Amino acid sequence: MQAAGLGESTAAWEPVLPWLIILLPLLGFAINGALALSAARKSADAVRAGGEFDFFENGRPRTHSLPTWVGPGVMLLAFLLTLVNFAGMLGADLHEPVVLSYWSWISTGELEVAAAIQLDQLSMIMMLIITGVGLLIHVFSVGYMRDDPGYPRYFAYLNLFIFFMLVLVMGASYPIMFIGWEGVGLCSYLLIGFWFSDEAKASAGKKAFIVNRIGDLGFLLAIFLLYLVFQRVDFVGIFGDAESVFEYGGSVITWVTLFLLMAATGKSAQIPLYVWLPDAMAGPTPVSALIHAATMVTAGVYLVARSSVLFALAPLSSAMVAGIGVLTALFAATIALKQNDIKKVLAYSTISQLGYMFLGVGVGAYTAGIFHLMTHAFFKALLFLGAGAVIHSMHHALHHTKKDWDAQDMRNMGGLKAYMPYTWITMWLATVAIAGIWPFAGFFSKDGIIWMTGAMAGAEQAPYAGLYTVYWILALATAMLTAFYMTRLMVMTFHGENRTGSREAEHLHEAPRIMWIPLAVLAVLSVFGGWINVSTDLRESILGGFGLLPMGEWLHGWLEPVTEAAHLIQETNLGEIAHAAPIFGGGEWVWGLISFVAASAVVLATLRLLGSRKVTVAVDDAEPTGLARFLYNKWYVDEFYHRWVVDPILTTSRVLWRVVDTTIIDGTVHLVGNGTRALGWVVSLFQTGQVNTYAFILTVGVLVILSMVAF
């Protein structure tokens, strides 16, 4: 299997202007960037004159009209173009990826990295999510960022992000993917630190970038190792030869996949590199929805799914992917239990759900992983946007009365459903979806992952069968935690008495239409989005209405061309996977029903339990104690990293500078210089100016030479 040559495609299907899908956001970036630069210049002049930029003109922001059309506009065009291509691909029955090469990016000797894009079923799904959810979030942002002086800059960054994200998923080789990989990291850095005058926010961006770079180290090493083995770096070439080149479970393939896993843990915020994501909530909330929930953080899952052939050949790495995933899921869920910042809860929830996706792709259920990625993009984007609407409203209310309370602290909210009914309803839909309640999207995707974990544990020749059983139990337990903390979030935010204050409450209001329309669209997707991938077993059970509901296993079949090679390798080496749970037996629909009932029970119990409990507002609230305190402080992981990683490096750096550089190395240099001077001084002592001395030295010299000649 050879990569397509320059400019030609291998399939009968001709993609429609695929490069334009990538270029449109870049164009948006260029236009918005130029606008942002000129706006910033004006604002700088005002600041220099001692004032602030007068952002409003007759009550309307003056920098908005063009970015509002350009930013979401290019997204709409890109989404439509993606849809056109999707429709084309649907009708094409494509078995090989379409590789389109535009120019030779790096070419030297044997190494040939083409600036090429690859269109296949997997990248198409990702493109739909990115441009679709991206479009909705761009629209939402028009309302959310309306009052911000950095409006054009915001859209410039957001467009640039979409550009890099598309490069990431459409790239036809690892290095091209790496451009997108680091590019989205850059945009994440810029957007987290969007309000850069706040030191904490600027620091959060920096932290995200540096932690991500640690993961990128793994990406680079994986590329190097793959190049060493294959002498090429494009997907088609590598995946085509992988089976014949690598021995199943061999050490090189294990190293390659472990390096890739390292990269994935960085970008997808998994243990041990997850620490940047909670801090990343410093960015504007739509950014959290787009980058830190729906798209960028799922890049690690995409990477594993894209490299499914490699991971299928490395059972140890796959088990580690699954293990890291399930541990992260559980770990982040425990932290989410005790957070009071609405965005922090969602951040840890995202980490936890990413853990599920890792578990999915780790147990070889690549479709299930991507499926959860997709449904998660719907309901988590919805949750974040809903939280954004809540914060927006809270912020306005508090701003009106100049109360310096935290607009994101759920302890200061309560009873918002009366003020924001649309937001309330849509967020509840997302909550039941993420909690795994039938028939919402999250139920099917999460159930698929958990079920595949159990099935893997019972596979005929499963390696680490016991381990997979543990994963399965932990995954089930985490699902219950998810149901609890999400219900807690809803109760604290929307139910009970309002705690914002009577004067402030008057100013609480529903979000403008441009903000809740995206919420409504996402809500529909969160409800029905799960129906596109329901296994036959579920469909024919009560959970599928005995086959009467319009459900199907469409996604599985759609992704089959991409994942079948990996599935074949698994089948050959692991044998048939089980059709019953590892303990107690029982088929897929039985366990689906059990988890549905259990999750519903948790949601209802939490509603009853917390609904009646009184919450103290943040300023009066006591510090948590005991285990709660431990969870509230996030297991002290940040403190641990600071103490044992960041500080030692800083101290060493100081020592290297002050001691090694200044004292030892420069000291030696000065020693040589001063030594030469000292020697000169000593020799100069012989020059007395006295003729007698010279004569004496002369005589001695002559005698010495004579005696040397004589003897």
Partner 1 sequence: MLNALAYDSWVLHALIWLPLLGMVHVLWAAEDRAKELALRWSLLVFVLSVGLWWAYDPALGGAYQLTSSRPWIAVWGVNYALGLDGISLFMVMLTTFTTPLAILGSFDYIKKRQKPFYALMLLLEVGVVGVFAATDLFLFYVFFELTLVPMYFIIGIWGGERRIYAAIKFFLYTAVGSLLMLVGILYIYARGKTLLGVASFAFADLLQIPLTPGEQMWLFGAFALAFAIKVPIFPFHTWLPDAHVEAPTAGSVVLAAVLLKMGTYGFVRFLLPFFPVAAQHPSVVTLMLTLGVVGIIYASWVAAVQPDAKKLVAYSSVAHMGFVIIGIFALNLNGLQGGLLVMISHGISTGALFLLVGMLYERRHTRLIADFGGIARVAPWLTTAFVITALTSIGLPGTSGFVGEFLVLLGTFELHQGMAIFATAGVIFAAYYMLPMIQSVFLNALDKPENQAVHDLSRREIAILAPMIALMIVIGVHPTPLLRRMEPSVQMVLERVHAAAPPSAALIEFSEEEEEGTDASDAWDEILDRITSGAGRAE
Partner 2 sequence: MLAESLVVAGMIFVVGTLGVIVRRNVIIMFLCIELQLNAVNLTFVAFSRYVGIEGQVFVFFVIAVAAAEAAVGLAIIISIFRHYETVDVSNFNLLKW
| Contacting residues toward partner 2, per CB under 8 A | 684, 687-692, 695-696, 699
CA distance 64 to 151: 7
Of the pair 653, 699, the CB lying nearest partner 2 is at: 699
Of the pair 649, 679, the CB lying nearest partner 1 is at: 649
Phi, psi of 108 (to 5 degrees): -155, 125
Q: How far is the CB of 707 from partner 2 (least distance, A)?
A: 15
Identify what 684 binds: partner 2, partner 1, none; CB under 5 to 8 Å per kind.
partner 2
Identify what 696 binds: partner 2, partner 1, none; CB under 5 to 8 Å per kind.
partner 2
Q: How far is the CB of 691 from partner 2 (least distance, A)?
A: 5
Q: Helix 513-528 and helix 121-144: axis angle, to 10°?
A: 150
CA distance 47 to 490: 42
CB neighbour burial string for 381-412, b if at least 16 within 10 angstroms, e if fewer: bbbbbbbbbbbbbbeebbeeeeeebbbbbbbb
Side-chain-side CA neighbours of 37 within 13 Å: the count stands at 5
Number of other CB atoms surrounding residue 20 within 10 Å: 12
Of the pair 175, 582, the CB lying nearest partner 1 is at: 175
Q: How far is the CB of 396 from partner 1 (least distance, A)?
A: 24
Phi, psi of 56 (to 5 degrees): -105, 150
Identify what 111 binds: partner 2, partner 1, none; CB under 5 to 8 Å per kind.
partner 1
Of the pair 542, 697, the CB lying nearest partner 2 is at: 697
Burial class (CB within 10 angstroms; exposed 0-12, middle 13-18, buried 19+) of 651 = exposed
Identify what 691 binds: partner 2, partner 1, none; CB under 5 to 8 Å per kind.
partner 2
Of the pair 524, 697, the CB lying nearest partner 2 is at: 697
Structure token pair of residue 304: 């594993």
CA distance 578 to 503: 61
Identify what 657 binds: partner 1, partner 2, none; CB under 5 to 8 Å per kind.
partner 1
Q: How far is the CB of 477 from partner 1 (least distance, A)?
A: 35
Q: How far is the CB of 182 from partner 1 (least distance, A)?
A: 5
Burial class (CB within 10 angstroms; exposed 0-12, middle 13-18, buried 19+) of 181 = buried
Of the pair 49, 691, the CB lying nearest partner 2 is at: 691
Q: How far is the CB of 699 from partner 2 (least distance, A)?
A: 6
Identify what 178 binds: partner 2, partner 1, none; CB under 5 to 8 Å per kind.
partner 1
CA distance 494 to 363: 38
Of the pair 1, 691, the CB lying nearest partner 1 is at: 1
Q: How far is the CB of 134 from partner 1 (least distance, A)?
A: 20
Structure token pair of residue 220: 């680079």
Sign of the torsion formed by the C-alpha atoms of 345, 351, 356 and 359: negative
Of the pair 104, 687, the CB lying nearest partner 2 is at: 687
CA distance 486 to 488: 5
Identify what 653 binds: partner 1, partner 2, none; CB under 5 to 8 Å per kind.
partner 1
Alpha helices in 551-635 (DSSP H): 554-574, 588-611, 626-632
Residues in contact with partner 1 by CB under 8 A are 37, 40-41, 43-44, 47-48, 50, 103-111, 115, 175, 178-179, 181-183, 186, 189, 193, 196-199, 202-203, 206, 209-210, 213-214, 216-217, 220-221, 223-225, 227-231, 245, 250-252, 255, 649-650, 652-654, 656-657, 660-661, 665-666, 669, 673
Q: How far is the CB of 670 from partner 2 (least distance, A)?
A: 24
Identify what 250 binds: partner 1, partner 2, none; CB under 5 to 8 Å per kind.
partner 1
Of the pair 665, 700, the CB lying nearest partner 2 is at: 700
Structure token pair of residue 224: 């190097």
Structure token pair of residue 279: 């801090």
